[in-house]
Structure 1
Amino acid sequence: MSIVRTLPCPVAETPDLGIVLSDGCRLSARVWMPEDALARPVPAILEYIPYRKRDGTLPRDEMMHPYFAGHGYAAVRVDMRGCGDSQGLIADEYTEQELRDAEEVIGWLAAQPWCSGSVGMMGKSWGGFNCLQTAFRQPPALKAVVSVCSTTDRFADDIHFKGGCLLGENFGWGAVMLSYSSRPADPALRADWRADWLARLEAEPWLAPRWAGHQARDAYWKHGSVCEDFARMTVPVQIWGGWADNYMNTVAALVENCAGPVKGIVGPWVHQYPHTAVPGPRIGFLQEALRWWDRWLKGIENGAEADPAYRVYRLESEAPDASAKHRAGEWVAEAVWPSPRVRREMWHLGQPPGVSHPRAPVGYLSHIEGEVRAEIATPQHLGMHTGEFFPMGLNAEMPGDQAGDDALSVCFDGSVLAAPLDLIGATRLSLRLSSDQPLGFVVARLCDVGPDGASVRIAHGMLNLCHRNGMETPAPLVPGEVVEVAFDIDQMAYRLAAGHRLRLALSNSYWPFVWPSPQAGRLTLTGGRLDLPVHQGAGTEWAPPPAEHASPWKHKVLRAAQTTRKIETDLMSGRVALVIRDDLGDAENLDHGLCTGETMTELWEIHPDDPLSARAVHTWEQRLSRGDWRVRTEARAEMTATASHLRLQARLTAYEGDEKVFERHFDEEVPRQFV
């Protein structure tokens, strides 16, 4: 990765440009643009998120936005209403207010004398979501978007629910936002920072219970889900994903369904921009985005619309590594998606005669339909090596060796491969089963098992069995009734080496990725098949540009970061816990003197025999200071459950200097209708 210190256009920066909305709310923008933009107007590129441009995303902002400005754009990084240095209050994610504000900001930008009238929108995660959602609304000046790590369906495939299963990270993300949104504006930019801060704290929402309460794909989740009407997606979209992230399905969905121009790229990466992400190889995301902007914002005939529809990094078999710095593989380029080079191949679940043990290995995968009867009743601590929903780096956040979880699962193994097997696409899993409980779920993992027994997770998928007939119409199971269910295992691009085996691992527990069912149920499996996307194979078909970026931020480390991640077993109680401490240290911004730091701890504990023992406790501390000014906030959140309710508690405390200036407690119970 190289630093570009000299750019084609000299760049002028405005650290706090006010955008006053029609209701009088002032949003704060940091803007980079060519020095001569007033004389020679340029298109604008908007990134619009709640994560604080003054400190939160500043390190990545300074590597990206000056780069675009130096290539002839006005790069505009806006703090959303109620966040960072902007006025107002934040109420939830992707609200109607948030999206109306986005449309108004786009219109405002297009009307500025330094803007050509064309606006692009970009972002990762929250920003990737809201740029797709804004494109769905089709504001006239919005000409193209670049979205990274986002979703088309806020219920079926997001951080709250997946396949109708309540994710542990629904609670975790609620704790994150309680902490992130608790920080004040910078006093250097806002003389009214203190009054504004206290108003923010008083209005701070505890969102995890709200999200957990919507246990079906209702109007709450349909809002902002662009899959509701792909015909409205006419604004050109460049969509990015990573195989180590959990938003990999979005890319194929948009490429396959969007009405307008769309190009998709999926690499080996975690939940980061591809020019800085691990595992490598990193690539020239900024150059690819610039090519997209040039085509749709400037009208340069550079052929971007004729690029391959779907470019994916096909991973290759190698040893499992939860902190992989690089993944072996090759870039495959599909002119269209779905690809004619993918054929569907049926593999059936079978079982040798006399095998009935409820632990792996129990059966085989074969092209010939066979008999199977297996009991899926897995221990509650299965899943400790799953990794994070959206891993951010190298701190063992990616899936590790699955062999331990496989040993607790019901597994079906294919034969040892005589030749490599290429898989690109989503696998469809069909099962025939019954349950002894009205509520329950099933998790499927596709794994690459090496000759040494090490197991690499290729992809996973899950289904809350209450949603067997659709995400909008959940209904409890009838105990003992046999049902046919089918669901997709996530998109993948993977080559299993000769000498390896493909494994399907099934479980009805997956802690802490999925919140457990109220009873330790038992699923009786009596049939199943995998519909695999087998690719004809190819060599390297695309050579992406090398990663580069603008000069990084100027800062001084005041206290170094330190992270630990451990699995602990209490030998007396039998409880098993995932314990994480992530101290990001403290740093001083050498441009404006703001010192920042944060520390987080997570505890996810459960007893292998008791789903109601599940407990999650997260704590966050945020620190801000400059000279004699010093503030910090503490957020503590806890989730437990009974057979009938989820309980989500939180406490938010704020300090100015050593004086406590605010404290609020939250304690909410959510009925367990379908989880």
Structure 2
Amino acid sequence: MPIPLNENEIFPVTLEYLPYRKDDSFYAANFIDIWYFSRRGYISAKVDIRGTGGSEGIRVPKEYSDIELDDGEEIIRQLAIYPRSNGAVGMLGLGWSGFNSLMMATMRKPPALKAIYAAHASEDLYYNDVHYIDGVLHEDEYILSIDHENALPSSPLYSVDNDYISNRFLQYPWMDLYLQYQNDNVEFWHEHSIMYHYENLTIPCYLVSGLYDSYRDAAFNIYTNVKAHNQKVKLVAAPVTHTMPEDQTPGPGYDSNSDIVSWFDYWLKEKNTGVMEQPDLTIYVRNTTLSPTESMNKPIPGEYRYETTWPIERIQLKKMYLIMGKMLSSQQPASNSSMPDELEYMPWIGVQSRTGWGGLTGDQSELDKYALVYDSEILNKTIEIVGFVNVTLEVSTNVTQTNWIVRLEDVHPNGEVTLVTGSLRNGAQINGRLLPRYLTPNQMYTITLSLHFTTWTFQLKHRLRVSILNSYFPALWPSPFPMKTKLYFGTIDLPVIPSNNMDFYVTPDFTQRQRVPSDLPIISDRTLLLEGNKTYMTIENTEEMTTTVSYTSYVYQSIKDFYVASQLRWNLTVHHYDASNVTWTAMAKQIYVWNIYPNITMCSSTESGLSSSCLQINVLSGYPTLDLTTRRSLELQTSLSINSDQNNFYTNTKRTLMQNGTQTLVNQFKQTHPRQFQ
């Protein structure tokens, strides 16, 4: 909260509303944001959702529940009447807090909510969220971490009492809840997806889309469907993953907190910051000659541009054809081939794609060895695209359940391949998401799909490539049957920006502002002691004929007078010759140790770790090298697993709580969920 200059000074309020434990797991990030906004005249509220973090009550029954939104209304009402508040509240956030900002603005519309800022937030909870990517089951570290952290005791006391046991520890795992709803034809997904309520979004709305984020379509879908009745919508598409632009992953980013202040100053303080005089759209167009290996973990060359219309009026569609000889041609063939290209299903293929349509993927040439690929001629001029690439395929399969993955790629002269964009179609949804049905073997089907939003410039001497797969492991849970698919014909429509328009672009000033050192506070009561790099390892077992992808991460830190260790790992394994036999195992562990020395640091290898200045840590166990008999400690372990066969998913969740080294609570859930078109 800012310090008032006089007893009558009042301030607007920013609200971020999450289940991500503001007092420990997200303490550092929250401190930086609150410090930044309070220095600029905002009361900054971070609120844990009911039954999570430091908030009381029974853990909410699911993501974005009515309880969450009901509470959100009450929180906004109370913030608006707070004595130092001017009555104007702005919601903001990334991911979850962006999602519920949109929901509050669309479905609840409390009078005090004057504007929102939503980054990487989806309009579609089934097709464009983490559980069913483009309609196919997906499991990753989020599924583990959200269940695990929401079973931890409430901060700041971390009491293990009857309320904790009933309200958190014994609550039903969300993993099982989402496996009950494997298709989009139920109200479960629709009731809080704002795509069914666009007409209600009427307050000022600032949207951020990340070119390397899985949710990047959402901002454009919202803008397209809202702009006609709401002239107060802004959109930025930046070259970032699931982070804010200022985090530069990979970048180039900009000082997005400064942009948030400019937005909220206009709507919550009634200051003319000029933000509404700027064009609605700011889009970063990628333009690099680097190979994917050269560009990994570096800012991607290109430029930010203003756009005044969406879709961009000057776009010209360029149609290309997938033809015999694995060619991608601008010339329409005389007739569709009667001799289709055939693809054998290998359920373990796809590891180079990492875990979906977000993030940096690196060179894709190895993966393309197992795909149907169609290459253009070597380009004699650049091709710049901005928008959604539309694809039509004529296909067949010899089984009843098949997924088709389509990717647009850039082939560098050195042979390396960059993933530009992609999407997929669950074969059960060919006739629509709301009408899933099994395929008829060997019947020809027409698939139409829109690849995820992209910007890209194909350079001279490069080639365009369309790559088609039936497996995308580990991003997608493999479909259960051995199969062969056939491709008879295909087209692709590219949204091309004509080269003669490139002299008219204006670079937005706000994208050139960078965060300065004075905007990064020193957090005196928190120290990051050790952080393990997130890793994706692929393990091939030639005896058992399996492929496993493994992910691990750990963070050890001190906050005030206690130590917190977080460990997380998962493995996803598929059998090569039984695609239905898939196993996902995951383990998370959180350790708290109280009464450590203030401002402690990590010991070097030559220090004892027994002084008041530094701490040694057993990296494997996560425990510090301290006398734990004289200190309170608490540990929660959560293990999740999903196994599948052709008919079912079998889940097992186990929670174990340790206090001072002694096991005090154990609970286990086992469920069987029939496969439903997955």
**TM-score, normalized by length of structure 2?**
0.88
Deviation at 1:282, TM superposition (A): 2.4
Matches within 5 A, 1:219-234: 219-234=187-202
Q: Choose which of 662, 669, 676 in structure 2 pairs with 1:673.
A: 676
Q: Percent identity?
A: 23
Residue 99 (1) aligns with residue 61 (2): no
Task: Tell me the equivalent position of 2:327.
Answer: 363
Report the Cα offset of residue 73 of structure 1. Answer: 1.1
**Aligned-residue CA RMSD in angstroms?**
1.9
Q: Tell me the alpha carbon deviations over residues 5-27 of structure 1, each in whole angstroms, 9 at most, x when there is no partner.
A: xxxxxxxxxxxxxxxxxxxxxxx
Task: Give the AA of the match of 1:336.
Answer: T
Contact 2:212 2:240 in 1 (8 A): yes
What is the CA–CA distance in structure 2 between the aligned matches of 1:196 and 1:570, rounded to whole Å? 46
Q: Does 1:530 align with 2:492?
A: yes
**Is residue 114 of structure 2 the alignment partner of residue 143 of structure 1?**
yes
How far the C-alpha of 1:306 sits from its partner, in A, is: 3.0
Give the alignment of 1:570-589 within 5 angstroms: 570-584=541-555, 586-589=556-559
Instruction: Considering Cα pairs closer than 8 Å and 6+ residues apart, tell me whether 1 or 2 has the greater RCO.
Output: 1
CA distance in 2, matches of 1:459, 1:571: 32
- Equivalent-residue separation in structure 2 for 1:390 and 1:624 (angstroms): 35
What do residues 520-555 of structure 1 show as CA deviations (whole Å, max 9, x unaligned)? 222221111111111235366324121344414332
Name the structure 2 match of 1:633: 636
Instruction: Tell me the equivalent position of 1:153.
Output: 124
Aligned equivalents of 1:291, 1:139: Cα separation in 2: 22
Tell me which residue corresponds to 1:240.
208
Q: Deviations over 1:222-262 (max 9, x none)?
A: 12211102111111111112111101101211221213221
Contact 1:34 1:73 in 2 (8 A): no
Instruction: Point out the more displaced range, 61-70 or 101-110.
Output: 61-70
| Cα distance change on mapping 1:365 and 1:156 into 2, 3 Å | farther
Distance 1:552 1:561, change over 3 A: farther
Q: Hey, what does 1:173 align to over in structure 2? A: 142
1:542 aligns with 2:542: no
Three-state SS of the structure 2 residue aligned to 1:432 is strand
Higher alpha-carbon deviation: 175-184 or 500-509: 175-184
**Secondary structure, counterpart of 1:65 in structure 2:** helix
Q: Residues 560 and 475 (structure 1 numbering): CA distance in 2 closer, same or farther, change over 3 Å?
A: closer
> C-alpha distance in 2, partners of 1:339/1:390?
24
**Structure 2 contact 395–444 (Cα < 8 Å) conserved:** yes
Is 1:181–1:204's contact at 8 Å kept on the other side of the alignment? no
Provide the residue aligned with 2:651 in structure 1: 648
**Structure 2 gap segments, 5+ residues each:** 596-630
1:604 match: 572
AA of the residue aligned to 2:675: R
2:457: which partner in 1? 495
Q: CA deviation at 1:215?
A: 2.2
The aligned runs of 1:28-43 (5 Å cut-off) are: 32-36=1-5, 39-43=8-12
1:569/1:577 contact within 8 Å kept: yes
Query: What amino acid sits opposite 1:437 in the alignment?
Result: V
2:478 partner SS: coil
Query: Which stretch of structure 1 is more off in the superposition, 196-205 or 261-270?
Result: 196-205
Report if aligned partners of 1:213, 1:670 keep a CA contact under 8 Å in 2.
yes
1:320 aligns with 2:292: yes
Q: What's the secondary structure of 2:305's corresponding residue? A: strand
Q: 1:458-513: CA deviations, max 9, x gaps?
A: 11101111111211111111112212121111000111111111111101111111
Check conservation: 2:16, 2:91, Cα contact below 8 A.
yes
Counterpart in 1 of 2:625? none
- What per-residue deviation string (whole Å, max 9, x for no partner) do you get for residues 57-77 of structure 1? 121112222211111111111
State the match for 2:623 in structure 1.
none
- Cross-structure match for 1:348: 321
Aligned to 1:81: 50
Deviations 1:255-310 (A, max 9, x none): 21213221111111111122124102121101111111011111222232232222
Does the C-alpha gap of structure 1 residues 209 and 390 become closer, same or farther in structure 2, counting only changes over 3 Å?
A: farther
CA distance in 1, matches of 2:667, 2:357: 29
In the alignment, the residues of structure 2 paired with residue 560 and residue 487 of structure 1 have an alpha-carbon distance, to the nearest angstrom, of 40
Q: Distance in 2 between matches of 1:563 and 1:301?
A: 43
**Greater shift after overlay, 572-581 or 404-413?**
572-581
Q: After the TM superposition, which residues 274-293 of structure 1 pair with which residues of structure 2 at under 5 Å, given as runs?
A: 274-293=245-264
3-state secondary structure, aligned to 2:89: strand
The corresponding residue for 1:412 is 374
> 453, 458, 470: which is aligned to 2:415?
453
* TM-score normalised by the chain length of structure 1: 0.89
Shift of 1:36: 4.5
**Distance in 2 separating the partners of 1:663 and 1:37:** 54
2:467 to 502, 505, 514: 505
* 8 Å Cα contact 1:38-1:113 kept in structure 2: no
Tell me which of 537, 540, 561 is aligned to 1:566: 537
- Cα drift, residue 398 of structure 1: 2.5
Question: 2:350 corresponds to which residue?
Answer: 383
Per-residue deviation, 1:39: 2.1
**2:398 aligned with 1:436, yes or no?**
yes
2:30 to 61, 83, 86: 61
Report the CA distance between 1:402 and its aligned residue.
Answer: 0.7
Structure 1 position 337, deviation (Å): 1.2
C-alpha distance 432-489 of structure 1, shift in aligned 2 (>3 A)? same
Q: Distance in 2 between matches of 1:277 and 1:667?
A: 42
Give how far 1:657 is off: 1.4
Question: For residues 495 and 64 of structure 1, what CA distance do their matches in structure 2 show?
Answer: 35
**Residues 38 and 73 of structure 1: is their aligned pair in 2 closer, same or farther, counting only changes over 3 Å?**
farther
Match of 2:21 among 29, 32, 52: 52
Q: Distance in 1 between matches of 2:282 and 2:484?
A: 41
Deviation at 1:446, TM superposition (A): 0.9
> Deviation of residue 207 (structure 1)?
1.2
Give SS of 1:143's match. Answer: strand
Distance 1:428 1:607 in 2: 33
Matched residue of 2:442: which SS? Answer: coil
Cα distance in 1 for partners of 2:462, 2:58 equals 54
CA contact (8 A) 1:597 1:622 kept: yes
Secondary structure of the residue aligned to 1:48 is strand
**SS in structure 1 at match of 2:452:** strand
For 1:131, the equivalent position in structure 2 comes to 101
Matched position secondary structure for 2:2: strand
Partner of residue 312 from structure 2, selected from 339, 342, 362 = 339
Deviations 1:375-404 (A, max 9, x none): 23231121101123486xxxxx62121111
Aligned pair in 2 of structure 1 residues 274, 449: CA closer, same or farther (>3 Å)? same
Displacement of 1:146 in angstroms is: 0.5
Q: Give CA deviations for 1:345-399 in whole Å, capped at 9, x if unaligned.
A: 21111113xxxxxxxxx333434246341123231121101123486xxxxx621
CA distance in 2, matches of 1:366, 1:168: 39
2:90/2:114 contact within 8 Å kept: yes
Distance change >3 Å, CA 365–CA 376, structure 1 → 2 = farther
Which residue of structure 2 aligns with residue 355 of structure 1?
A: none
Q: Does 1:622 align with 2:590?
A: yes
Structure 1 portions without partners, runs of 5+:
1-31, 353-361, 392-396
1:421 aligns with 2:383: yes
Question: Matches of 1:540 and 1:167 in 2, distance apart?
Answer: 40
Given that residues 582 and 645 in structure 2 are in contact (C-alpha distance below 8 angstroms), is that contact kept between their aligned partners in structure 1?
no
Once the 2 structures are TM-superposed, how far is the Cα of residue 559 of structure 1 from its aligned partner?
Answer: 4.1
Contact 1:400 1:456 in 2 (8 A): yes
Kindly provide the amino acid, as one letter, of the partner of residue 414 in structure 1: S
Residues 193, 635 of structure 1: alpha-carbon distance in 2 compared, 3 angstrom cutoff: closer
The verdict on how the C-alpha distance between 1:92 and 1:36 changes in structure 2, with shifts beyond 3 A counting, is: farther
The answer to whether the aligner puts 1:210 opposite 2:177 as a matched pair is yes
State how far apart, in whole Å, the 1-side matches of 2:255 and 2:265 are.
Answer: 15
